[in-house]
Chain A
Amino acid sequence: MHELSLCGAIADVVERARAGRPVTTVHLRIGRLRQVVPDTLTYCWGLVTAGGPLGGSRLDIDEVPVVLACRPCGASTEVADVLVLACGVCDSADVEVTEGEDFLVTSIDLGVAPGLSEGGAPGESASKATSEREN
């Protein structure tokens, strides 16, 4: 249900940005500290947009790793396990999160989604939302 409420917020941003124009793809940048499951987000996007003007549009999720800046030793390290926020060099917990907390709509692609008439087709859209992950 986390992803469901996030999809509502994403849809609000996209609605403003598209200014009435049809959208094929929504590009997101999501830090791993957000604890978002991409497949779940994609599934919820289909539910939230079904039957509306964003129906049939796709999410393209760019996951950003967590990067910590260590105050004692100055090292900047990428974190493999987000449950342990400690410096990868000296193991200090006195760190600042420099990357990994983003949650942005970076851009949207305009155009009529394949197989849909302009403005989306009610009832067909949920199954067409698919996930594309670029790492």
Chain B
Amino acid sequence: MGRFHRHDDGTEHDHAHGADAHAHPQGSHPQDHQHGDHSGYATGGERIVVLERIFAENDRAAAANRAAFDAAGVRCVNLMSAPGAGKTALLAHTLAHLRDQGVRAGVVEGDIETSLDADRLAGLGAQVALLNTGSGFGGECHLDAPMVARALTALDLAALDVLLIENVGNLVCPAEFDVGAHARVMIAAVTEGEEKPLKYPVMFRACDVVLVNKIDLLPHLDVDLELFRANLAAVNPSATVFEVSARTGEGLAAWHDWLARL
């Protein structure tokens, strides 16, 4: 079996994995040249160079999803939040607004904790694809691009303008997996406190928009919104922030405008 080498100078070669075949012509390699882990030889093993990002396959599927959206003229948003941040209420508000504007909306519903049922969604005029995320290891903790690709088979993309993907309520795993959306939007409720961006920097760094929800509760809380904004800016200075209440509708006009321009 051949042994593959990639050198720092960019050259690559294969050669037989035998003691005799292992000699190189004098001067053919840099002085610091090493054949991987020599301990591997002691047990008869060999090292295969892989150098592949673990998200590479997911990212290929995400690119295919994005291409499908672009071909159909659909703009897609990946909606992420912690459980209980108001993702579902915001989704219902947004769908009602889009329906009133004559925008054809679709939803990929992946939140295993959701209370939103098919009837309620149907009443909002959206195409809905439900993802069964409960069949994994105790329920999936995120949506990945292949899962979304399967959900898309239940939707008529040609009849849509906007697709909202409701990710699983979780601030960790969804940040790692691109699903092919054009924008990542995160909902953070004021009740979650000022330090959330510092505790979950991977998620807050990954999003384009942060919807600060439940601002109708601010009079009842000690939370410092300026400190939240400063903490968010520390991990993601370029995020667009909208302060909203999905319950009262306050601030949602700016979010709707953003969505219309996406």
Binding site for B on A (CB under 8 A): 1-2, 4-6, 9-10, 12-14, 17-18, 24, 27, 33-35, 82-86, 93-94, 102-111, 114
Contact = CB atoms under 8 A, between A and B. Distances in A.
A13 to B, nearest CB: 5
Interface residues of B, number: 38
B201 A107 contact: no
B234 A110 contact: no
A96 to B, nearest CB: 11
B52 A109 contact: no
A105 B53 CA distance: 6
Contacts of B56: 13
A34 B205 CA distance: 11
Contacts of B51: 104-107
Contact of A109 (B46, B137, B140, B173): B46
Interface stretch (B7-15, B18-26, B37-45, B112-120): B37-45
Contact of B234 (A13, A24, A93): A93
A27 B37 CA distance: 11
B235 A85 contact: yes
Contacts of A107: 36, 47-51
B252 to A, nearest CB: 29
A108 B173 contact: no
Contacts of A110: 45-48
Contacts of A24: 43, 45
Given A17-B52, A103-B55, A83 B201 contact: yes
A103 B175 CA distance: 14
A107 B5 CA distance: 11
